Structure 1
Amino acid sequence: MRRSRLAYLPLVFPLLAFAEFLAFVSVAHAIGFGWATLLAAAFSVTGVLLLRREGIRGFRAFQEATRDGRPPAAGVTNSLIGLAGALLLALPGFITGVAGILLLLPPSRLLARRGIERLAARRLGGAATGDLFGPRRVRVHQSDPVTVVVVDEQRPTPPAGAIEGEIVR
Protein backbone atom coordinates (compact mmCIF):
# COMPACT_ATOMS: atom_id res chain seq x y z
CA MET A 1 0.00 0.00 0.00
CA ARG A 2 1.31 3.41 -0.96
CA ARG A 3 1.93 5.90 1.85
CA SER A 4 0.50 9.35 1.60
CA ARG A 5 2.92 12.22 1.19
CA LEU A 6 1.38 13.79 4.27
CA ALA A 7 2.84 10.95 6.33
CA TYR A 8 6.29 12.46 5.79
CA LEU A 9 5.23 15.92 6.97
CA PRO A 10 6.36 15.40 10.61
CA LEU A 11 9.87 14.75 9.30
CA VAL A 12 9.94 17.92 7.20
CA PHE A 13 9.55 20.43 10.03
CA PRO A 14 12.55 19.32 12.13
CA LEU A 15 14.68 19.16 8.99
CA LEU A 16 13.57 22.65 8.00
CA ALA A 17 14.33 23.97 11.50
CA PHE A 18 17.81 22.44 11.35
CA ALA A 19 18.42 23.87 7.86
CA GLU A 20 17.22 27.31 9.04
CA PHE A 21 19.62 27.13 11.99
CA LEU A 22 22.52 26.26 9.69
CA ALA A 23 21.55 29.07 7.30
CA PHE A 24 21.38 31.58 10.16
CA VAL A 25 24.78 30.51 11.48
CA SER A 26 26.27 30.80 7.98
CA VAL A 27 24.79 34.26 7.39
CA ALA A 28 25.82 35.40 10.89
CA HIS A 29 29.34 34.17 10.22
CA ALA A 30 29.46 36.07 6.93
CA ILE A 31 27.93 39.41 7.96
CA GLY A 32 27.89 39.32 11.76
CA PHE A 33 25.35 38.20 14.35
CA GLY A 34 23.70 41.62 14.79
CA TRP A 35 23.21 42.20 11.08
CA ALA A 36 21.91 38.66 10.57
CA THR A 37 19.38 39.13 13.38
CA LEU A 38 18.34 42.50 11.94
CA LEU A 39 17.96 41.01 8.46
CA ALA A 40 15.85 38.11 9.76
CA ALA A 41 13.65 40.55 11.68
CA ALA A 42 13.26 42.71 8.56
CA PHE A 43 12.15 39.64 6.59
CA SER A 44 9.54 38.81 9.23
CA VAL A 45 8.17 42.34 9.54
CA THR A 46 7.94 42.69 5.76
CA GLY A 47 6.13 39.35 5.55
CA VAL A 48 3.58 40.38 8.18
CA LEU A 49 2.91 43.65 6.36
CA LEU A 50 2.52 41.85 3.03
CA LEU A 51 0.12 39.27 4.50
CA ARG A 52 -2.59 41.87 4.92
CA ARG A 53 -2.05 43.40 1.48
CA GLU A 54 -2.08 40.06 -0.33
CA GLY A 55 -5.16 38.90 1.59
CA ILE A 56 -7.11 42.00 0.64
CA ARG A 57 -5.93 41.69 -2.96
CA GLY A 58 -7.12 38.07 -3.12
CA PHE A 59 -10.51 38.91 -1.65
CA ARG A 60 -11.00 41.75 -4.13
CA ALA A 61 -9.96 39.54 -7.05
CA PHE A 62 -12.52 36.95 -5.98
CA GLN A 63 -15.24 39.60 -5.67
CA GLU A 64 -14.48 41.07 -9.10
CA ALA A 65 -14.44 37.66 -10.77
CA THR A 66 -17.77 36.63 -9.28
CA ARG A 67 -19.31 40.02 -10.08
CA ASP A 68 -18.16 39.79 -13.72
CA GLY A 69 -19.18 36.15 -14.06
CA ARG A 70 -15.62 34.97 -14.76
CA PRO A 71 -13.95 31.88 -13.33
CA PRO A 72 -12.44 33.09 -10.05
CA ALA A 73 -9.53 30.72 -9.71
CA ALA A 74 -6.93 32.47 -11.90
CA GLY A 75 -6.87 35.69 -9.87
CA VAL A 76 -7.46 33.90 -6.60
CA THR A 77 -4.65 31.44 -7.30
CA ASN A 78 -2.28 34.31 -7.99
CA SER A 79 -3.30 35.93 -4.71
CA LEU A 80 -2.97 32.67 -2.77
CA ILE A 81 0.56 32.28 -4.10
CA GLY A 82 1.26 35.82 -2.91
CA LEU A 83 -0.21 34.93 0.49
CA ALA A 84 1.99 31.83 0.68
CA GLY A 85 5.02 33.96 -0.22
CA ALA A 86 4.14 36.54 2.44
CA LEU A 87 3.59 33.79 5.01
CA LEU A 88 6.95 32.20 4.21
CA LEU A 89 8.55 35.63 4.47
CA ALA A 90 6.88 36.21 7.85
CA LEU A 91 8.29 32.98 9.28
CA PRO A 92 11.64 33.49 10.97
CA GLY A 93 14.51 32.18 8.91
CA PHE A 94 16.49 32.81 5.79
CA ILE A 95 15.46 29.76 3.76
CA THR A 96 11.75 30.46 4.19
CA GLY A 97 12.43 34.17 3.63
CA VAL A 98 14.15 33.58 0.31
CA ALA A 99 11.41 31.14 -0.74
CA GLY A 100 8.81 33.78 0.19
CA ILE A 101 10.58 36.48 -1.80
CA LEU A 102 10.75 34.16 -4.81
CA LEU A 103 6.99 33.51 -4.62
CA LEU A 104 6.33 37.25 -4.48
CA LEU A 105 8.26 37.98 -7.68
CA PRO A 106 6.07 37.94 -10.83
CA PRO A 107 8.05 35.40 -12.92
CA SER A 108 8.15 32.77 -10.19
CA ARG A 109 4.55 33.55 -9.22
CA LEU A 110 3.55 32.78 -12.80
CA LEU A 111 5.47 29.50 -12.73
CA ALA A 112 3.86 28.53 -9.43
CA ARG A 113 0.39 29.38 -10.77
CA ARG A 114 0.96 27.22 -13.85
CA GLY A 115 2.14 24.40 -11.62
CA ILE A 116 -1.00 24.67 -9.50
CA GLU A 117 -3.15 24.67 -12.64
CA ARG A 118 -1.40 21.52 -13.91
CA LEU A 119 -1.82 19.85 -10.53
CA ALA A 120 -5.50 20.76 -10.48
CA ALA A 121 -5.93 19.45 -14.03
CA ARG A 122 -4.38 16.11 -13.02
CA ARG A 123 -6.41 15.81 -9.83
CA LEU A 124 -9.76 17.28 -10.94
CA GLY A 125 -9.84 16.64 -14.68
CA GLY A 126 -10.09 18.96 -17.65
CA ALA A 127 -13.74 20.00 -17.36
CA ALA A 128 -13.51 21.08 -13.70
CA THR A 129 -10.21 22.84 -14.34
CA GLY A 130 -11.75 24.74 -17.25
CA ASP A 131 -14.58 25.86 -14.99
CA LEU A 132 -12.10 27.03 -12.37
CA PHE A 133 -9.38 28.62 -14.47
CA GLY A 134 -11.24 29.53 -17.63
CA PRO A 135 -10.36 28.61 -21.19
CA ARG A 136 -7.01 27.07 -21.93
CA ARG A 137 -4.39 28.79 -24.02
CA VAL A 138 -3.42 26.75 -27.06
CA ARG A 139 -0.23 27.13 -29.05
CA VAL A 140 -0.26 25.99 -32.68
CA HIS A 141 2.89 25.61 -34.76
CA GLN A 142 3.11 27.66 -37.95
CA SER A 143 3.35 24.51 -40.07
CA ASP A 144 -0.15 23.40 -39.06
CA PRO A 145 -2.88 24.40 -41.53
CA VAL A 146 -5.33 24.74 -38.59
CA THR A 147 -6.10 28.05 -36.92
CA VAL A 148 -7.03 27.71 -33.26
CA VAL A 149 -9.04 30.47 -31.60
CA VAL A 150 -9.26 30.50 -27.81
CA VAL A 151 -12.08 32.51 -26.28
CA ASP A 152 -10.69 35.30 -24.11
CA GLU A 153 -11.98 35.74 -20.55
CA GLN A 154 -12.93 39.37 -21.19
CA ARG A 155 -14.88 38.47 -24.34
CA PRO A 156 -17.25 35.59 -23.54
CA THR A 157 -18.46 35.16 -27.12
CA PRO A 158 -16.08 33.88 -29.79
CA PRO A 159 -15.28 35.97 -32.87
CA ALA A 160 -17.29 35.42 -36.05
CA GLY A 161 -16.34 32.22 -37.83
CA ALA A 162 -14.75 30.63 -34.75
CA ILE A 163 -15.82 27.19 -33.69
CA GLU A 164 -16.26 26.55 -30.01
CA GLY A 165 -15.17 23.22 -28.71
CA GLU A 166 -13.11 21.29 -26.24
CA ILE A 167 -9.70 19.84 -26.95
CA VAL A 168 -9.55 16.19 -25.94
CA ARG A 169 -6.22 14.40 -25.66
Structure 2
Amino acid sequence: MRRSRLAYLPIAFPLLALAEFVVFLSVAQAIDFGWAAVLLAAFSVAGILLLRREGIRGWRAFQESARAGRPPGAEAANSLIGLGGALLLALPGFVTGVGGLLLLFPPGRVLARRGVERLAERRLGGAATGDLFGPRKVRVHHGDPVTVVVDDDQPRPPAGAIEGEIVR
Protein backbone atom coordinates (compact mmCIF):
# COMPACT_ATOMS: atom_id res chain seq x y z
CA MET A 1 0.00 0.00 0.00
CA ARG A 2 1.29 3.44 -0.89
CA ARG A 3 2.00 5.69 2.05
CA SER A 4 0.57 9.21 2.01
CA ARG A 5 3.02 12.09 1.87
CA LEU A 6 1.16 13.69 4.76
CA ALA A 7 2.49 10.93 6.97
CA TYR A 8 5.95 12.51 6.68
CA LEU A 9 4.85 15.90 8.13
CA PRO A 10 5.58 14.96 11.76
CA ILE A 11 9.17 14.28 10.69
CA ALA A 12 9.50 17.22 8.28
CA PHE A 13 8.51 20.03 10.66
CA PRO A 14 11.08 19.26 13.38
CA LEU A 15 13.76 18.82 10.69
CA LEU A 16 12.81 22.20 9.20
CA ALA A 17 12.98 23.82 12.65
CA LEU A 18 16.42 22.30 13.23
CA ALA A 19 17.61 23.47 9.80
CA GLU A 20 16.30 27.00 10.49
CA PHE A 21 18.12 27.06 13.84
CA VAL A 22 21.42 25.88 12.34
CA VAL A 23 21.20 28.32 9.42
CA PHE A 24 20.33 31.21 11.75
CA LEU A 25 23.33 30.42 13.95
CA SER A 26 25.57 30.24 10.88
CA VAL A 27 24.33 33.58 9.54
CA ALA A 28 24.57 35.15 13.00
CA GLN A 29 28.16 33.96 13.31
CA ALA A 30 29.01 35.32 9.85
CA ILE A 31 27.39 38.78 10.08
CA ASP A 32 26.67 39.24 13.82
CA PHE A 33 23.59 38.29 15.82
CA GLY A 34 21.97 41.74 15.68
CA TRP A 35 22.23 42.02 11.90
CA ALA A 36 20.95 38.46 11.47
CA ALA A 37 17.89 39.31 13.60
CA VAL A 38 17.30 42.52 11.58
CA LEU A 39 17.60 40.60 8.31
CA LEU A 40 15.18 37.96 9.59
CA ALA A 41 12.68 40.65 10.63
CA ALA A 42 13.04 42.36 7.23
CA PHE A 43 12.27 39.06 5.46
CA SER A 44 9.13 38.62 7.58
CA VAL A 45 7.88 42.18 7.07
CA ALA A 46 8.48 41.93 3.32
CA GLY A 47 6.56 38.62 3.25
CA ILE A 48 3.61 40.13 5.12
CA LEU A 49 3.48 43.08 2.71
CA LEU A 50 3.74 40.78 -0.30
CA LEU A 51 0.90 38.56 0.92
CA ARG A 52 -1.64 41.29 0.29
CA ARG A 53 -0.13 42.35 -3.04
CA GLU A 54 0.05 38.79 -4.38
CA GLY A 55 -3.50 38.07 -3.26
CA ILE A 56 -4.91 41.16 -4.98
CA ARG A 57 -2.86 40.52 -8.12
CA GLY A 58 -4.02 36.89 -8.28
CA TRP A 59 -7.67 37.82 -7.82
CA ARG A 60 -7.49 40.43 -10.59
CA ALA A 61 -5.77 37.99 -12.97
CA PHE A 62 -8.42 35.38 -12.22
CA GLN A 63 -11.24 37.87 -12.90
CA GLU A 64 -9.60 39.05 -16.13
CA SER A 65 -9.24 35.49 -17.46
CA ALA A 66 -12.85 34.74 -16.54
CA ARG A 67 -14.04 37.88 -18.37
CA ALA A 68 -11.95 37.00 -21.42
CA GLY A 69 -13.26 33.42 -21.47
CA ARG A 70 -9.80 31.88 -20.98
CA PRO A 71 -9.18 28.90 -18.70
CA PRO A 72 -8.34 30.35 -15.25
CA GLY A 73 -5.98 27.59 -14.12
CA ALA A 74 -2.69 29.22 -15.12
CA GLU A 75 -3.57 32.50 -13.39
CA ALA A 76 -4.87 30.68 -10.32
CA ALA A 77 -1.78 28.49 -10.10
CA ASN A 78 0.51 31.48 -10.60
CA SER A 79 -1.23 33.46 -7.84
CA LEU A 80 -1.25 30.50 -5.46
CA ILE A 81 2.47 30.04 -5.99
CA GLY A 82 3.02 33.75 -5.36
CA LEU A 83 0.93 33.55 -2.19
CA GLY A 84 2.90 30.49 -1.08
CA GLY A 85 6.16 32.32 -1.72
CA ALA A 86 4.98 35.36 0.26
CA LEU A 87 3.81 33.10 3.09
CA LEU A 88 7.16 31.31 3.21
CA LEU A 89 8.91 34.69 3.25
CA ALA A 90 6.65 35.87 6.11
CA LEU A 91 7.57 32.86 8.26
CA PRO A 92 10.58 33.58 10.45
CA GLY A 93 13.61 31.75 9.13
CA PHE A 94 16.25 31.93 6.45
CA VAL A 95 15.48 28.56 4.86
CA THR A 96 11.79 29.39 4.40
CA GLY A 97 12.74 32.94 3.35
CA VAL A 98 15.00 31.71 0.57
CA GLY A 99 12.31 29.22 -0.52
CA GLY A 100 9.78 32.06 -0.60
CA LEU A 101 12.11 34.25 -2.65
CA LEU A 102 12.61 31.42 -5.15
CA LEU A 103 8.85 31.15 -5.60
CA LEU A 104 8.42 34.90 -6.01
CA PHE A 105 10.91 35.40 -8.83
CA PRO A 106 9.90 34.35 -12.38
CA PRO A 107 12.19 31.33 -12.96
CA GLY A 108 11.15 29.64 -9.74
CA ARG A 109 7.52 30.56 -10.24
CA VAL A 110 7.49 29.05 -13.75
CA LEU A 111 9.04 25.79 -12.53
CA ALA A 112 6.60 25.58 -9.63
CA ARG A 113 3.62 26.31 -11.91
CA ARG A 114 4.66 23.52 -14.27
CA GLY A 115 4.87 21.21 -11.27
CA VAL A 116 1.38 22.24 -10.17
CA GLU A 117 0.05 21.61 -13.68
CA ARG A 118 1.66 18.14 -13.80
CA LEU A 119 0.27 17.32 -10.35
CA ALA A 120 -3.21 18.48 -11.40
CA GLU A 121 -2.98 16.39 -14.56
CA ARG A 122 -2.04 13.29 -12.57
CA ARG A 123 -4.75 13.83 -9.95
CA LEU A 124 -7.60 15.19 -12.06
CA GLY A 125 -6.99 13.67 -15.48
CA GLY A 126 -6.50 15.21 -18.88
CA ALA A 127 -10.03 16.52 -19.50
CA ALA A 128 -10.30 18.46 -16.23
CA THR A 129 -6.76 19.77 -16.60
CA GLY A 130 -7.58 20.95 -20.11
CA ASP A 131 -10.57 22.85 -18.73
CA LEU A 132 -8.37 24.49 -16.07
CA PHE A 133 -5.15 25.19 -17.96
CA GLY A 134 -6.23 25.13 -21.59
CA PRO A 135 -5.33 22.61 -24.27
CA ARG A 136 -2.31 20.46 -23.54
CA LYS A 137 0.64 20.36 -25.89
CA VAL A 138 1.48 16.92 -27.20
CA ARG A 139 4.72 15.84 -28.83
CA VAL A 140 4.31 13.34 -31.67
CA HIS A 141 7.13 10.97 -32.54
CA HIS A 142 7.25 9.54 -36.03
CA GLY A 143 8.13 5.90 -36.16
CA ASP A 144 6.68 2.60 -37.23
CA PRO A 145 3.26 2.62 -38.91
CA VAL A 146 0.30 2.31 -36.57
CA THR A 147 -2.72 0.11 -37.11
CA VAL A 148 -6.00 1.54 -35.83
CA VAL A 149 -8.77 -0.84 -34.79
CA VAL A 150 -12.29 0.56 -35.10
CA ASP A 151 -15.60 -0.77 -33.78
CA ASP A 152 -16.01 -3.46 -36.41
CA ASP A 153 -12.64 -5.00 -35.37
CA GLN A 154 -11.21 -4.56 -38.85
CA PRO A 155 -7.67 -3.16 -38.72
CA ARG A 156 -7.24 -0.07 -40.85
CA PRO A 157 -4.19 2.06 -41.46
CA PRO A 158 -4.46 5.65 -40.22
CA ALA A 159 -5.38 8.26 -42.82
CA GLY A 160 -3.54 11.51 -42.24
CA ALA A 161 -4.38 12.76 -38.78
CA ILE A 162 -6.36 11.07 -36.06
CA GLU A 163 -8.74 13.24 -34.07
CA GLY A 164 -9.77 12.34 -30.55
CA GLU A 165 -8.81 12.48 -26.91
CA ILE A 166 -5.64 11.18 -25.39
CA VAL A 167 -6.55 8.46 -22.93
CA ARG A 168 -4.07 7.03 -20.48
Which band: TM-score by shorter chain?
0.7 to 0.9
Matched to 1:32, the amino acid is D
Report percent identity of matched pairs.
78
Q: Counterpart in 1 of 2:86?
A: 86
Q: Counterpart in 2 of 1:12?
A: 12
The answer to whether the aligner puts 1:98 opposite 2:129 as a matched pair is no
The answer to whether the aligner puts 1:51 opposite 2:51 as a matched pair is yes
User: 1 CA distance for matches of 2:164 and 2:53?
Assistant: 39
User: 1 CA distance for matches of 2:138 and 2:6?
Assistant: 34
Matched to 1:31, the amino acid is I
Q: Counterpart in 1 of 2:136?
A: 136
Q: Give the aligned length.
A: 151
Matched to 1:11, the amino acid is I
User: 2 CA distance for matches of 1:112 and 1:164?
Assistant: 31
Superposed displacement of residue 68, structure 1: 1.6
Post-superposition Cα deviations, 1:89-146, rounded to whole Å, max 9, x if no partner, equal: 00000000000000001011001000110111111111110001001234568x89xx
Matched to 1:115, the amino acid is G
Superposed displacement of residue 2, structure 1: 3.0
User: 2 CA distance for matches of 1:77 and 1:36?
Assistant: 33
Normalising by the residue count of structure 1, what TM-score does the alignment of the two structures yield? Answer: 0.82
Q: Secondary structure at the match of 2:70?
A: coil
- Give unpaired runs (5+ residues) of structure 2: 144-161
Q: Secondary structure at the match of 2:63?
A: helix
- Give unpaired runs (5+ residues) of structure 1: 145-162
Normalising by the residue count of structure 2, what TM-score does the alignment of the two structures yield? Answer: 0.82
The answer to whether the aligner puts 1:29 opposite 2:6 as a matched pair is no
Superposed displacement of residue 63, structure 1: 1.0
Q: Counterpart in 2 of 1:148?
A: none
User: 2 CA distance for matches of 1:119 and 1:139?
Assistant: 19
Q: Counterpart in 1 of 2:39?
A: 39
Q: Counterpart in 1 of 2:148?
A: none
User: 2 CA distance for matches of 1:168 and 1:124?
Assistant: 13
User: 1 CA distance for matches of 2:57 and 2:87?
Assistant: 15
User: 2 CA distance for matches of 1:21 and 1:167?
Assistant: 49
User: 2 CA distance for matches of 1:6 and 1:112?
Assistant: 19
